[in-house]
Structures are given as structure tokens and as C-alpha cells.
Chains A and B, each alone.
Chain A
């Protein structure tokens, strides 16, 4: 298709809406050299413009091609062919050609699915990684304070452990921290809570706050089990698992909302639910990595890493459970298995 040449002459028939108004007239647009003239049905000259004031909007399906002039007059014509000869090929016409309904669109479908997978698998984690790296330490600390307050409101009570026992556990915690590599910025804090609702347990927050329950401290003889669980929690902090999960879910929500206009509400819900289920596999992966991190750390600090097995064996149903797709953690049986493998290898 040839681009516009100055000696070309074109005539388009259609309708015009006069300057900024709804007044509709049948009209002919005559393009000759540098001048554009809009004529009414009975040959009356409605207005004249220069060639460079004639800008057709990009084509869209079979809808009329439209051009709005500087004075607010709108011209519409169904004559796609002539308009195309006037404008030549533009980015808009390329898009229009790509959109045409034919078998090539199957490749677009495949590309969209593949692209969606690649974004989810690689682009989103990369963005999350950068965001985690740029999150300032004070912000993480502030988030810890908020989470700890919510924790206290909902399930936790002040500890009932004696000061001496607390000091013993603090010493274990300090021993573990002193073995951490390149620990420059994070400030680690250990808190004791009486929380019967969650049994023997410990929780790590992004800013370095670790909460340990009384049941865990007093439920096992010696310090090895406490050290093993604290080592695991420190793994979550050092490898930024909590923040990564938070950013991943925020980022996923934003990405899905952006394409929601093109997926409709039902598929949007399916995508969001699917995203939650897929994110659980990341959560289980983080647990495995924190286990390995904790095993290495406890061994370096002089505790018995196998104590983590003791801990999991003490959990109810530890030997029967299979890991299921809807779980945030791998099953205890599976974790014991991988801990044994890890200890054998090293």
C-alpha cells in the first residue's frame, strides 16, 4: 500500500457531526493536495482544513473510521479501504491486521498461556527479589511490631517461664546468631509467649523478631530441640521468606487485577484462587529450605541437629500424614525423612 503523495486525490463519503455538537449531516470529505474539504450532501462547503490536520484514529474492527478536526467537527466513514490508502501503514493498522480473526490467532492463545506462565515463574520472582532487597530495615522492624501486637491480641499471653529458663534460651539464641554469616543489618529479638492454642511452636517475623512458645521451651529436655527450632526460624529471617511471600501475593494480586478487564470476573477469581494454591508450594519449599538452614546452623553452634527429628516426632500424627496440595508445610513424616537424608549426606 502506497503512502500518501501530494498529487493524490481522494473522496470519502460518510457523515459529519458539526463542531462540538450532535448535529449530524451526510458529508463528503475531499482530499486534494494539501487541502481537505468537508462538503454537505448538497455540495455546500462545511469546512476546510490542511492535510496535516486530518488524523484518522486507528482502525478497530469494522467500525467506521473517524477523524476529529481541530474545531471539534467529527467525520465518520465506513470506507476503510480509501482511508487506508490515505494513511498508509501505521502502528494502528499493524495492530488491526494482527487482530483479524483467522487461524493464526491460535498461536496468540498459546503465546498468551506460555507468557502467563513465564511471568509467574520468572518475572514475578525477579521483581519480588528486587523489592525484598530494597526494603529498608526500619520498615521491616515496624511490621514486626505490628504483627507481634496482633499476635498478642489474638492468641498469645505473657510468658510463664522463669527468668533463669528464659536466660538459658536467650543464650542458645545468641549462640546461634553468633554463627550466622554476614549478619550485618538485622537486629534479632527473642520473645517468649504463653500460647496454648499453637502448642510447642516458634514464629519468625521479617525484621528479625522470633517468638517462641512456653510449650516448646519446657516440653523437651536439654537445649538441642529449642536450638533446632530456633535455627529453622532464623533460616526464615535470613532468607527473607516472610517478606518474599508478602510481596509475591501483592504482586500477583496486582498483575491479575490488571488483566482482569480481559478475563472477566469469574476467571479472575479462578486465577486468584489458583495463585493462592500455587503459592502454597512456595511456602512448603521455604519450610524445607529453613529446615536445611537450621540443621547447618545448629551443628555449627555445637548443638545436635538430629533434635529437629525429635521435635517433629513429638507432633501429633507425625508418621501418618502425607503432604497435601492445600498445606502450607510439608508433612512431618516427609520432613523427618529429608532431615535424615541431609544428616546422612553431610
Chain B
């Protein structure tokens, strides 16, 4: 490959100053409207990040309206409150859990469809064509099977999730295709587990005396501190590490019909450094540096992503598609669900 830096096809042009202004206005209006404006805030945030993301010189865009998002959120919030109150009733609670389990894949598919439809690149909308049945298999059955193997099969689940969410996406009439040997997933998985194990053992040895007090009725308060330290040193880095390795693996095996091939070469250590230093800076500035931190991460990720364009980018055409409402999207927003799309 020739000089990578100059041939990069992906770039992010947002700036921290600009995003700070948009962010603080979003936050203020959301607070004074008791959360109602959050729907419009989401649209503005997505538009800002999408429109500043260029692939092959053409940017993405986000098309949902605040009203659509708001209606979805009202339905979900009312549903969640009803769920919270009603689940205290014995039999109703059990029925509700089963009901939620049954409609969860449906909500997920609606969320993916809505977000695909509302996203465009170069004036062409994405679409998602996955079925609810397959989503049930991937997001309900597979996790249960994975748990039965004591999570040794987790890499298979993760790959299945990526295949489902990516291979059912299309840009206009052209489909995305991802597949990768399982080996890469297992390497990332075991490296992550290894990191957690090493940090846990080291922390355990250092903190052995205060751990002994856990058995006593009045545990040492420093045990709670120790848990946070463990989360900060073991869990948080492990999740970030894994995410970065899987991002490289996924994007580098991703192609768009027509011969356009994606590539990602983020450094897991660098991503971890940015994520950790961002977290510390955001906390120390009581959140004021959050916009800066978000822009910093977006820029790093874009700078380490590339697309090899093979042929014309002018022949994509938006396909007619049935509209998906915003309920699934609102649900995954509020519950913070990860469908497994690489970002």
C-alpha cells in the first residue's frame, strides 16, 4: 500500500468549540423542558456528528425529526413506568417478563430499521432488511446457549451478532458483507480475559488484608473503593481493548457490494489511553470537557478508518421502504442496548 495518511478516505471535521456550544444548548433546553427537548437534542447531536463525517469526500446525514423521536420516547417511557409499577404484582410481573422477552427482538429490528432509514450517505438512504425471527435467534437464543457454555462460546455469539447486524444493512440497493474466521475473535477474547485475570490477581495480592474483612459483619469501607479500582483497572480497559480489537477485525473484513472495502487500524492501547484520559478529564471538569472528549475520540477513530473505493460511487439509489417508527430506537436509547454495529 502506498502512503496511507494521504490516501485516507474517511475524515471527521467536527471541532470541540463548535460542538460545545451545540451541546450546552441541548443540555440546557433538555433540562428546562423536563427532558422533552432531548428528542430534538438527539437529532441535532446525530446531525452534527454525521454531517462532519466524510467518506470518500461525501458526508453522512441523519434525517429523523425531533417529533418522531419524542413520540417514540413517550411511548417507551409510559411503557417502562407501567412495567415498573405492574411488575410488582405477582403473576402479572412474570407475564410481563415473558412478553418483553418476546417483543425484544421486534423492538431491536425496529430500532435497526429506523436508524438505517434515517441515515444517508451522499443523498442515499441506508436500509435494514433483517427479520425478527433471526433477531430472536441471535439476541435471545444465542446468549442463552453462550451462558450454557460458561461463555467459552462468546466469540461465536459476538460474530453472529456482527453478521446479523451488518449483513442485513444496505446502502441503497447495495448490500454490506462481513465475515471473518473465528480465530481473531478468540484471540481478542482470551487477551481480554488474560488482562482481567492478571489485574485481579495483582490487586488481590496487594489488597489481601482488607479483603479478609469482607467476611466480617462490618466490611471495611475500602472494599468498595477496591471494587471501583478493579473496575477502573481491569474491567473498563478490558471492554475498551476488546472493542478496539473487534472493530479492527470487523471493519477490515467488511465490504460494500461493488468492491468497496473497509479497513480499520486503531491501536487498542491508543484507544484505551484516549478513553481513560477522557474519563478522568471529563470527571475533573464536572462534564464540561465532555464535548472535547467526544470530538477527540471521533477524530481518532475516523483517522484510523479507511475505505478502498473500487469503481464509481455515483450509482447508489435510495430504495423505497416501509417506514419503521421510532419506538424501537427510543427503547434501545433508554436501555442503552448494543446491537453490535461497529462505530
Residue numbers of A with Cβ under 8 A of B are 17-18, 20-24, 60-64, 66, 72-74, 95, 98-101, 105, 108-109, 111-112, 115-116, 119, 123, 135, 139, 142-143, 145-147, 149, 246, 250, 254-255, 257-267, 270
Assess A250 versus B81: contact at CB under 8 Å? Given A22-B313, A60-B47: yes
Residues of chain A within 8 A (CB-CB) of B15 are 61
Please pick, from A66, A98, A254, A257, the residue contacting B61 in the complex, using a CB distance under 8 A: A66
B side interface size, CB within 8 A: 64
Give the CA-CA distance A72 to B121 in the complex, in Å: 13
Contact A261 B31 (CB under 8 A): no
Contact B24 A112 (CB under 8 A): yes
Shortest C-beta distance, A27 to chain B (Å), equals 12
Shortest C-beta distance, B52 to chain A (Å), equals 6
Which of chain B's residues 167-200 have a Cβ closer than 8 Å to chain A?
172
Residues of chain A within 8 A (CB-CB) of B28 are 108, 111-112, 115
Please pick, from B31, B42, B318, the residue contacting A115 in the complex, using a CB distance under 8 A: B31
Give the CA-CA distance A252 to B82 in the complex, in Å: 15
Q: Is the interface of A mostly helix, strand, loop or mixed?
A: helix
Contact B282 A266 (CB under 8 A): yes
Q: Which residue of A lies closest to B320 (CB)?
A: A20
Contact A101 B30 (CB under 8 A): no
Residues of chain A within 8 A (CB-CB) of B35 are 254-255, 258-259
Please pick, from B18, B58, B80, the residue contacting A61 in the complex, using a CB distance under 8 A: B18
Q: Does B219 contact A (CB under 8 A)?
A: no
Residues of chain B within 8 A (CB-CB) of A21 are 123-124, 172, 314-318
Interface string of B192-228 (1 = CB under 8 A from A): 0000000000000000000000000000000000000
Residue numbers of B with Cβ under 8 A of A are 14-15, 17-28, 30-32, 34-35, 38, 41-42, 44-45, 47-48, 51-52, 58-59, 61, 73, 77, 80-81, 84-85, 88-90, 92-93, 121-124, 172, 279, 282-283, 287-288, 290, 293-294, 313-318, 333-334, 336
Contact A22 B58 (CB under 8 A): yes
Please pick, from B22, B41, B52, the residue contacting A261 in the complex, using a CB distance under 8 A: B41
Residues of chain B within 8 A (CB-CB) of A263 are 27, 287, 290
Q: Which residue of B lies closest to A147 (CB)?
A: B88
Contact A250 B51 (CB under 8 A): no
Residues of chain A within 8 A (CB-CB) of B124 are 17, 20-22
Residues of chain A within 8 A (CB-CB) of B27 are 112, 259, 262-263
Shortest C-beta distance, B88 to chain A (Å), equals 4
Give the CA-CA distance A226 to B315 in the complex, in Å: 82
Contact A105 B85 (CB under 8 A): no
Q: Which residue of A lies closest to B42 (CB)?
A: A261
Give the CA-CA distance A64 to B54 in the complex, in Å: 12
Give the CA-CA distance A254 to B79 in the complex, in Å: 12
Give the CA-CA distance A283 to B38 in the complex, in Å: 30
Shortest C-beta distance, B107 to chain A (Å), equals 16
